[in-house]
Every structure is written in structure tokens, then in C-alpha cells.
Amino acid sequence: MAGVDATPPPLSAGAGDRASGRTPVRPSTLPGSGAGFAQPRQGGRRPLAGLTPEAPVAELPHVAPADVKRLAKLGITTVRDLLLDLPYDWEQYGPPAPVARLRPGDQATVVGTLVRVLARRSPRGRLDLTEALLQDDDGGALQIVWFNQPYLARQLRAGHRLAVAGAVHLSRYGGLPEMRNPHHELVGEGGPRRVGGLMPKYHLTAGLTSRRRASWVEAALPLAERLEDPLPPATLARHRLLPLAEAIRRGHRPRELGEWRQARHRMAFAELLELQAAFLLARRRMAVERATPIPYRQEVIEAFKAGLGFPLTRAQRKAIWEIYQDLEREVPMNRLLDGDVGSGKTAVAAAAAAMVHAAGLQTVVMAPTEVLARQHLGAFRGYLERSFPDLRVELLVSGLGAKERRRVKAAAASGHCAVLVGTHALIEDDVKLAALGLAIVDEQHRFGTRQRELLRERSEHGRPHFLAMTATPIPRSLALALYGEMALSIIDEMPPGRTPVETRVVEPGRREEAYQVVRREVRAGRQAFVICPLIEESGALEAKAATAEFDHLRREVFPDLRLTLVHGRMRDKDAVMRAFREGASDILVATSVVEVGVDVPNATVMVVEGAERFGLAQLHQLRGRVGRSRLPSYCFLLADDPSAKSLERLRLLEQTTDGFRLAQEDMRLRGAGELMGPRQHGMSDMAMAALQRPELLSEVRQEAQQLLEEDPSLERWPGLWRAAQRRLELTSLS
Ligand code: ADP
Ligand code: MG
């Protein structure tokens, strides 16, 4: 895949530092960071004059404006954020070792004297090679090669003392031990300070290196003392947690990995506690809100079922029942309905709207796009208008003419319209609703407190009941942790009669077989998706790769077919998708943007390139884009460079279509953070990793409960209260 290899390796150490044109921070200005080495840890810890933890990162030495932007992408804007984000892992090279003791595959540190340094081109002239020979004090020789760092040949000279840290290979010539692209540091008498031992791995974006992040952390570390610890001392004691400042110090600069683990544990605990406290506070706040209770009426559900045209699944019935129970209460419902694409969430939502209508109240339904709003309009009408002839469903989107808009708004204001379907613009607009009883939000993780306030202002009937729907299967434990202020209904069963998408993992060399099926289906009048590999953290690279793939397919593979391209960097994605849906092309080449709701029933094949880069849950979502009709359909998962492990992971998709099972597996194999998409949830990877441990979560929940029982509004712990409010703003559904 073009472009893929262009992503800088996360830890090209000195390379990144030099490439960005800045001088690495001189060791003398920093306390020794060779964590894992017995070095004085106190040296040079003088607070930076005038700097507070709340200061923007730009105020730290050697942070350029471009770095500020790079860090912001990681959610790091203040010195505090920088300190709180501990390394997610370490490279472990150990103390300097004699070359004679190295074995291929070891991660090692070697200190020695350069015997020679040589710059040359690789045999095919593609790469700049810098080759060096390093001799340790016992006379052992280590071969070193750096790729594409020609400046090294100018900086390093025979006779220099050098420390290198990297993986040990056997060189192809002469069988000497060799390191490729090792970290390096010129050393004086004291030995290496920044290379070898434990080297932190931080989350990065293009242009950052872990070593630069480490040097900023070093500078900021004295400020750790000044951070307020949001956790009450009693909580620290009960759960044997490190105080914040100590956790920050040990987390970034552990003497051994146990200290780092302790620190991460403390950070994760705090984060989860803040979140659980936030949920409890939110629940408490909502519990004093008043909603209009919607009485349950048997004849309404009977009429609803009679008008449906199909029997409800067991899972749908259960969800409807849970919703009806909530609606009967005076406390507003706050429920998340979670079910795979096609599991029939809309029918459940319509059943709720029917009951609300029978109580004389209105329902609004909000969709993320106008296309989906129109789809909902059709569905709600289909489900409701036959059995409830006086129940009017109307659409309000910005694409309407002025006259129609006026008519719909009048119908909403008079109460004549029972269900109003639209986009989010609906609530931003000056729409009046005579008697709003229920708000339904489809696929929207960004429905914040403000929008809810707006909704409440619309109605004289107290706070409306609230139902959110999502097609991202979230394992129950995770939902509890992330959306703890909501009740959860899960639809874990598909309506009968669906033909599952036939899924196959295709190993390299057999892609022609997948293309054959694409050809055959297109000949039969069907359409196909080709999904390009995911390139993390770079929309531009991803777009470039998709464009290259598109050109390749159009010229070399399917010159006789009609292809179109859509990627995240395009202005008019909707138009391309719409044209595809209308049959204007045979094959849509796309980045993962198609993941979000397009409905193309005529598409029967999906080819996913670089499938091993996607999560199972994500692949499952993608796969849901085909198989949306009675026609048999196919999903081919192409792996560029599959390890046995990734093949095994992908094969799960051949075996099951159960989104919740796949999500659970994804969480087990790759962690909760990957499952939910990076940082959408506003939680650190530390907390996400902790979610793998249900016993920890229940410990945290108990602690939050205890704290709030003792002190219901957390007046005694303003730090925790503030942290909880911040969390609530970050997690979105509340
Ligand atoms: P979701 O919103 O969960 O993705 P939909 O509500 O759009 O799913 O339902 C997908 C399709 O399945 C629709 O055509 C719907 O009419 C149909 N459907 C829903 N429930 C059932 C059922 N119990 N039996 C048969 N078909 C159903
Ligand atoms: Mg839906």
C-alpha cells in the first residue's frame, strides 16, 4: 500500500529529534532520565520559574508551536495533561552489556568506542546507509546500520564513545552481532543518560517522538508537587493508592516496572472513580427532575404489534418492556438502546412513541444526517400510521421549502404532529413543541447537557424522557463504565430470515479470487465496496493511499468497470455516496468513512484491504454495509501481512455475526480503548486497560458510592467534584 510505510516508526529516537531540526536537550540541563540505571534521581529538580501545572505546554522549554498542535491531538494542552499521561509501555534494554554476551533477539544496551563510520547507498540505491563498527571495552565488535539518516555519518567519528540500544540481529556478512536503527547517544565518563535501560513509550502523533516527550516531562516533573490530588486521603488509604505526585514521578521515571504499574493503577483508579462519581451525581440530579409519567396501556401495544407486519423478536419485546417501565415513572427515563445494524431498533423506538402518543404527548426523533432522518420518517410512518390513524409523523430538516417548514412547525407547536423526525438542527432551531414527552436520538455520541437543556425548555411537561440508540455493540461491562448514568437495553438478536454475509479471510496471493467475485456480482447487476487500509492519525496519508488504490484498481484490475472514490478529505462525500446508491458506479473505493450509515441494498460485495489493521468490531460494522437485501452477499478480508495471531483474530468474523461477541473479543484481544475508537470517550488508555478487570470496576463503584453517601454533593472534596464535572463533559451521552 503506498504511503503506509511513510508513517514514521514510533520510536526512531534520535532520528526524529534531528529530523525535526531541533537540538536534543543537553543532558546537563536534565536530571538523569536513564530510568532503570542507578542514577541520582533528585538532581536538578528546580521548579521552573513562574510555571504552574495549568500553564499551556508551549511554556515548557523546547516546545515549538507545531509541537503544541501535535500534543493537542493527543488531548494534551497543559503541563498538567502532559504529566498525567504516563508512558503506555517501555522499551527494555537493560544496563550496558558486553557484546560477547548478546544473543540474536535480545534487546540490549551497548557502550563502546566507534572504530569506523561509513556512509553508502544500498545496493539498489534506494536507501542511505550509515554503517558503523562499535567496539566494547572487552574488545567485542558490534555492527550498526542506520537507514536514511545520512547526517549521522557526519556527526559520528571513529574514536567517539557511543551508547546504542536496540534489538540484536546477526549481520549478513561475517555473522557479527548487529543493531539496525538503534537509539544512540554520545557518552562521556558517566555512561549513557538517555539511551538504554528503560525507555518510555508515549502516545504519539506524526512529528513527535517518545524521547522528546520524555524530555518535556523531565522539565515539567518538578510541578507534580503542585497538582491537587482529587482523591481523598481515606480513599488512597483504603485502596493502597499512590498519592498523585508520587504516581507521576514513578510513572514517568520508575526504578523498575513495578513502580510504573503501581502508578498506572493509581491513575486508572482515579479516572474511573471520577467517572463513577460523575454518574452518581448525574443520576442524583436527574432523580429530582420531573417528567410526565406515561401510563402503560395494553391496547396500545396490541395495536402496535398488529400494524407491524412481523412478530417482534424476543430481544425487541424485552427492550420495549424495559422502556415502558421507565416511561411510567415520574423520573425521566435515561436509557441507551444498543443493537447491531438491522437488529430492529427503530421498531422499538416506534413502540415507545406510540405509547407516548396515547398519553397525549409528542416524540422527537433526531438522526445524525438528513438522509437518515428521511429513512426514519418512512420507517416511523410505516410502523405507526396504519394502527394509529390520528398519529401524524412529520419531517423537519433544513432541505425543506419555506412553506413546508412553516406547516410542520405549526403542526409541532399545536400538538397536531405526534412524532417529529429531523436532524440535530431540529433542537437548535426555534421549533416549539406543545407537549414533548420523549426525545429519541439515533447514533449520536455527542448529545450533551446543553442540548438536553434546550429540549427541556421546549416542553411544559417537565423534562422529556430520553432514549439514545447506538449500533456499536458495547459489552455490558464497558457500557457500565462509560455510560454509567444510563440504563441499558441490549438487542442481541437479529430478526429471522436474514442471510448472513458470507465472510472469508483471503491470504496474500489469493486476492484475484475476491476480485473474481466482484466481477461476477457486477456482471449480475450488483455493486461492490473496496475499503482501503486504516492509517491511524493521518487523514492525509489515508486519503493518498485510497487514491492510489483507486487508480490501481481502475487501470489494472477493473478497467472495464465504473469506479468511484470517496475518502475523508473530500468535500462532497454525501454526493458521491448518493450517486453510488443510485447506481452511478459499480465499485465504490472508500476509506472507512462508509462505516457511518449508507444504505445501498444493491451492494453485495465488500473487499477490505489491510483488514488486520481494523478492529473486529469495526470490521463487523463495515460488513454490515452489505447484506442489506435478500440477495446473498460476501465480505472478503484481505490481509497484507498477516501474522498467525491476526489471521486467527480475523477468522472470528468468518465464524460469527454476533456483534456483541465480536466486541467482547475485540476488547479482550486489543483492549477497550481500541474498541471504542481512540479517545472518543475522553478516557486514557490506562483507564481503558483497567476496564478489562471487572473486579476493579466494582471496587471503584463501591468507593464512589461510599464517598457520595458520606457527602452527597462532595462538598468536602471539591477537587473530586471538579474532576467529576470534567469527566461528565468528556463522556458524551449524558
Ligand atoms: P436498526 O435501526 O437496528 O439498524 P431497523 O430498525 O432499521 O434496524 O430494522 C432493520 C430492518 O429489519 C427493517 O427493514 C425492519 O423493518 C426489519 N425488522 C425489524 N424488526 C423485525 C422483526 N422482528 N422481524 C422482521 N423484520 C424486522
Ligand atoms: Mg437504525
DSSP per-residue letters across 333-390: PEEEEEE-TTS-HHHHHHHHHHHHHHTT-EEEEEESSHHHHHHHHHHHHHHHTTT-TT
Q: Using the mean position of ligand 2's atoms as its centre, give its distance from the Cα of residue 342 in Å.
A: 7
pLDDT of res. 173: 72
Determine the pLDDT at residue 731.
Answer: 59
Q: Contact, 483 vs 731, CB < 8 A?
A: yes
What pLDDT does 692 receive? 76
Q: In ligand 1, which atom is closest to the CA atom of 312? A: 23
Q: Is the CB of 310 under 6 A from ligand 1?
A: yes
Any idea which residue has 508537587 for its cell?
A: 225
Distance CA 285, CA 280 (A): 9
* CB of 376 closer than 6 angstroms to any ligand 1 atom: no
Q: Say if ligand 1 is within 6 A of residue 601 CB.
A: no
How far is C-alpha 726 from the geometric centre of its chain's CA atoms?
19
3-state helix, strand and coil shares in percent for the chain, rounded to the nearest 5: 40, 20, 40
Say if ligand 1 is within 6 A of residue 339 CB: yes
pTM assigned to the model: 0.71
Q: Point out the ligand 1 atom lying closest to the alpha carbon of residue 340.
A: 3
> Cβ(319) to ligand 1 under 6 A?
no
Q: How high is the pLDDT of residue 13?
A: 35
Write out the three cell numbers for 166. Answer: 536496540
Closest CA to 459 of 330, 291, 285: 291
CA dihedral 581, 587, 590, 592 (to 10 degrees): 70
Ligand 1 proximity of 312 Cβ (cutoff 6 Å)? yes
Parallel, antiparallel or unpaired: strands 603-608 and 197-201 = unpaired
The number of beta carbons lying within 10 Å of the beta carbon of residue 702 is 12
Of residues 618, 596, 598, the one with CA closest to residue 608:
618
Hey, whose CA ends up nearest to atom 23 of ligand 1? 312
C-beta of 489 in contact with ligand 1 (< 6 A) = no
Measure the CA–CA gap between 544 and 404, rounded to whole angstroms: 43
Q: Which of 316, 346, 628 to mutate to test the pocket of ligand 1 (most atoms within 8 A of CB)?
A: 346
Are 131 and 152 in contact, with CB atoms under 8 Å apart? Answer: no
Residue 291 DSSP symbol = B
Ligand nearest to the CA of 349: 1
CA distance 221 to 86: 12
207 C-beta closer than 6 A to ligand 1: no
Set of cell numbers at residue 39: 542514577
pLDDT of residue 452: 66
Whole-angstrom distance, CA of residue 307 vs CA of residue 162: 80
Give the count of beta carbons closer than 10 Å to the beta carbon of residue 709.
9
The order of strands in the sheet holding 465-470 is 392-396, 417-423, 362-367, 436-442, 465-470, 334-339, 487-491
Dihedral of CA atoms 303, 304, 306, 311 in degrees, nearest 10, equals: -150
> Which grid coordinates are listed for 339?
443493537
Query: Is the distance from CB of 653 to CB of 616 less than 8 angstroms?
Result: yes
343 lines ligand 1 (CB under 6 A): yes
**Residues ≥6 apart with Cβ < 8 Å to 172:** none
What's the confidence (pLDDT) of residue 6? 35
CA of 346 to the centre of ligand 2 (A): 6
Residue whose Cα lies nearest atom 27 of ligand 1: it is 495
Distance 106 CA to ligand 1 centre (A): 55
Q: Does the beta carbon of 423 lie inside 6 Å of ligand 1?
A: no
The confidence score (pLDDT) of residue 231 equals 96
Cα separation, 677 vs 482, whole angstroms: 13
Of 419, 197, 443, residue with least CA distance to 337: 443
- Close Cβ partners of 273 (under 8 Å, ≥ 6 residues apart): 231, 235, 700, 703, 704, 720
Write the CB contacts of 291 (distance below 8 Å, at least 6 apart in sequence): 329, 330, 331, 332, 333, 437, 461, 462, 463, 464, 465
pLDDT along the chain (734 residues), means of 10: 34 34 34 38 52 91 92 90 93 91 92 92 82 92 90 89 93 84 88 85 88 92 93 96 97 94 95 91 84 96 95 97 96 91 93 97 90 90 94 91 91 94 78 90 66 68 87 81 84 86 91 95 96 73 86 95 90 85 94 68 94 87 86 92 84 92 83 58 74 84 93 92 82 46
How high is the pLDDT of residue 730? 66
Per DSSP, 689 falls in state H
Q: Are 342 and 633 in contact (CB under 8 A)?
A: no
Q: Is residue 467 within 8 Å of residue 440, measured between CB atoms?
A: yes
